Amino acid sequence: MNAPLLKVSALQAWYGESHVLHGVDLHVDEGEMICILGRNGMGKTTTLRTIMGILRKRSGGIEFAGQDMMSVPLHKTARAGLGFIPEERGIFASLSVEENLMLPPKVAEGGMSVEEIYELFPNLRERRTSPGTKLSGGEQQMLALARILRTGARCLLLDEPTEGLAPVIIQAIGEVLVKLKQRGMTVVLVEQNFRFAAKVADRFYLMDHGRMTAEFPVRDLPQRMDLLHRELGV
């Protein structure tokens, strides 16, 4: 069996004095889409930020494509092939839509071309000279996704893409994720909406108070519904 593309072992992290991750273990194989579930404040976003290297007070192991990422500075992490799409999307107000799209530098071959992106997201082509933040929430999410797809990143760290969006947009995002999977993209998804996640993810982790408490493939989801109802309160 091949080594996983991303392997996280005993990851701990601190915000200042506050100990937020207490030993997170997860792995993702190339082409897999995993989803981290959990209530608010349990450490899901923190996990992504720590893997990416935005949160630097950390210990443990992060291995990506065979490379140890712990000592890699933040501005070199993307070059290894990791792409980060934050919860707040991070669209820049002082840049146009197209400038936002072109901003992240190319890190590898194999990324989508600008034409392909505009085909996948026709709205973005229409609005490409508008200031980035004039887009609707859903369009901004598309843009945040699109600009990373351009770079050739191999693994996306995607934080709550469906939050605050209308069902129609959520469906569109789901379709995009499925298309990405078909192209062989690896994705670490953080989601509260597990019904959405169930349609796209291969495997789930459940997170509680800074560590993983459960792991199961998507086909086991029906058996795990009780657990999820309890843990996620839905």
Partner 1 sequence: MTMIFGIPLQALMGQLLVGLINGSFYALLSLGLAVIFGLLRVINFAHGAQYMLGAFTALLLLTVAGVNYWLALILAPLIVGLLAALVERTMLSRLYNLDPLYGLLFTFGLALAIEGTFRYFYGASGKPYAPPAQLSGAVNLGFMFLPIYRGWVVIASLAVCIAVWLLIEKTKLGAYLRAATENPVLVQAFGVNVPLLLTLTYALGAGLAAFAGVLAAPIYQVSPLMGSNLIIIVFAVVVVGGMGSILGAIVTGYLLGVVEGLTKVFYPEASNIVIFVIMAIVLILRPAGLFGKEA
Quote the CA–CA distance of 121 and 109 in Å, as a whole number.
21
The alpha carbon of 82 is separated from its chain's Cα centroid by a whole number of angstroms, namely 10
Cα distance between residue 44 and residue 122, in whole Å:
31
Helix axes 167-182, 137-149, angle to 10 degrees: 10
How far apart are CB 105 and partner 1 at their closest, in Å?
5
Q: Which is nearer to partner 1, 43 or 81 (CB)?
A: 81
Choice from 78, 135, 158, 197 touching partner 1 (CB under 8 A):
78
19, 22, 76, 229: residue in contact with partner 1 (rule CB under 8 A): 76
**Hey, which residues between 34 and 53 contact partner 1 (CB under 8 A)?**
52-53
Q: How far is the CB of 186 from partner 1 (least distance, A)?
A: 17
- Residue with smaller CB distance to partner 1, 43 or 104: 104
Residue of 68, 92, 183, 234 that binds partner 1 (CB under 8 A): 92
CB 162 within 8 A of CB 196: yes
Binding track, positions 148-167, relative to partner 1; x by CB under 8 A = ---x----------------
Using the rule CB under 8 A, which residue among 18, 75, 129, 226 binds partner 1?
Answer: 75
Q: How far is the CB of 89 from partner 1 (least distance, A)?
A: 10
Residue 186 in 3-state DSSP?
Answer: strand
Q: Answer positive or negative: Cα dihedral of 215, 221, 47, 212.
A: negative
Query: Judged by CB under 8 A, how many residues of this single chain contact partner 1?
Result: 23
Q: Which two tokens stand for residue 165?
A: 């969006």
Kindly tell me which of 53 and 210 has the beta carbon lying closer to partner 1. 53
Closer Cβ to partner 1, 100 or 186, answer by number: 100
Report in angstroms how near the CB of residue 58 gets to partner 1 at its nearest: 15
How many whole angstroms separate alpha carbon 156 and alpha carbon 33? 9
In the DSSP assignment, the letter for residue 220 is G
Angle of CA points 175, 177, 178, to nearest 5°: 65
Nearer to partner 1, 37 or 51 (CB): 51
**99 to 138, contacts with partner 1 by CB under 8 A?**
99, 102-105, 107
SS (H, E, C) 36-70: EECCCCCCHHHHHHHHHCCCCCEEEEEEECCEECC
Whether the CB-CB separation of 207 and 44 falls below 8 Å is answered with yes
Applying CB under 8 A, the residues found at the interface with partner 1 are 52-54, 74-79, 84, 86, 90, 92-95, 99, 102-105, 107, 151
